[in-house]
Amino acid sequence: MTRRHESPTEHAVPGRFAGRTAIVTGSTRGIGAGVAERLAAEGANVVVSGRSEAAGEAVAERIATRHEGESGDDRTGDATFVRADMRDPDDVAALAEAAAERYGSVDVLVNNAGVQTETAADEATLDDWEFVVETDFRAYWLAARAALEHMDRGAIVNVSSNHAYATMPAHFPYNAVKAGINGMTRSLAVDFGPRVRVNTVVPGWVEIERTRDELPEGRFEEVESIHPAGRIGTPADVAGAVSFLASEDASFVTGAALLVDGGRGAVMQDDVLPDYRAREGSE
């Protein structure tokens, strides 16, 4: 089976977010960068953020260059990079302020920044706990609260993980936090509605740098084979789901969690599955 490496902008809806401003946390690479590029391709002015200035500036420059090439019309948006450590409440507040100051408002917030430790519940330290909880959980709340101050009507999309539903050993407290994000989404939706819709996108396996590093040779193909979709995901897959949830096409969707996992959530037992890649190749 041919592995899919589509651009995050391949299925963009021109003008979908024209004149709107989106903040994407943790968007210097991986899923976040893909989301930032997709929203910009649909007309949003995007604030790219993260801790790596070099990587963040590169993403923003890539988007801004595309914007300039479109003669400044509403088909693509502009981008700027704002450095932010999501563990620092002052940085989180400054990120929303910078977006509003540069572009006049905040219309979309995508909470994506995340870290994890390879620790079991009986091995994790308080430092591990604080590192993950402050980055992956507390920052989502702080960013939502900060963005709300600059929102008239808008949308927040929190990026969770299929670890919220089923998990593996030595992923604590990452797995607990991801389940918490789904609960936070419901809380924010109830408290922020109807002014702001809040939803969660729940990715499964996605081919990014960290995933490739985690899967030894041969294991990548094995993981692909147990997905009913016949492959693992890409940042483009997640970006498309985020774009939908942030758009007016989802105007009656709030407090929801959208699973984007190639069908893995439908699987009960791996050893009864066919090789879905081989099945597709025979058709």
| Domain topology for 21-281 | Rossmann fold (3.40.50)
pTM above 0.75, yes or no: yes
Q: Which residue in 103, 165, 174, 276 is the catalytic one?
A: 174
The answer to whether 198 and 192 have CB atoms below 8 angstroms apart is yes
Share of the chain above pLDDT 70, in %: 95
Task: Write down the pLDDT at residue 281.
Answer: 64
pLDDT at 283 over 70: no
Model confidence at 2, pLDDT cuts 50, 70, 90, reads very low
Q: Report the C-alpha gap between 237 and 215 in whole angstroms.
A: 20
Q: Report the C-alpha gap between 82 and 121 in whole angstroms.
A: 34
Task: Write down the pLDDT at residue 272.
Answer: 79
Q: Report the C-alpha gap between 152 and 113 in whole angstroms.
A: 24
Which DSSP symbol is given to 136? I
Angle of helix 174-192 relative to helix 126-133, nearest 10 degrees, comes to: 40
Higher pLDDT residue, 209 or 142?
Answer: 142
Task: Calculate the CA 127 to chain-centre distance.
Answer: 25
Which of 200, 94, 195, 92 minimizes the C-alpha distance to 144?
A: 92
Based on the residue annotation, tell me whether 276 is a catalytic residue of this protein: no
Which of 198, 209, 107, 190 minimizes the C-alpha distance to 157?
A: 198
CA dihedral 31, 35, 37, 41 (to 10 degrees): 150
What mean pLDDT do residues 101-126 have?
96
Beta-carbon contacts of 31 under 8 Å, excluding residues fewer than 6 positions away, are 112, 159, 203, 206, 208, 235, 238, 239
pLDDT tens-digit readout, 128-164? 999 999 999 999 999 999 999 999 999 999 999 999 9
Q: Report the C-alpha gap between 145 and 185 in whole angstroms.
A: 12
The answer to whether 10 and 236 have CB atoms below 8 angstroms apart is yes
Task: Write down the pLDDT at residue 70.
Answer: 63
Q: Report the C-alpha gap between 224 and 221 in whole angstroms.
A: 5
- Provide the β-strand partners of residue 23: 47, 109
pLDDT tens-digit readout, 248-281? 999 999 999 999 999 999 998 888 788 888 877 6
The answer to whether 214 and 272 have CB atoms below 8 angstroms apart is no
Residue that the structure tokens 């499964």 belong to:
204
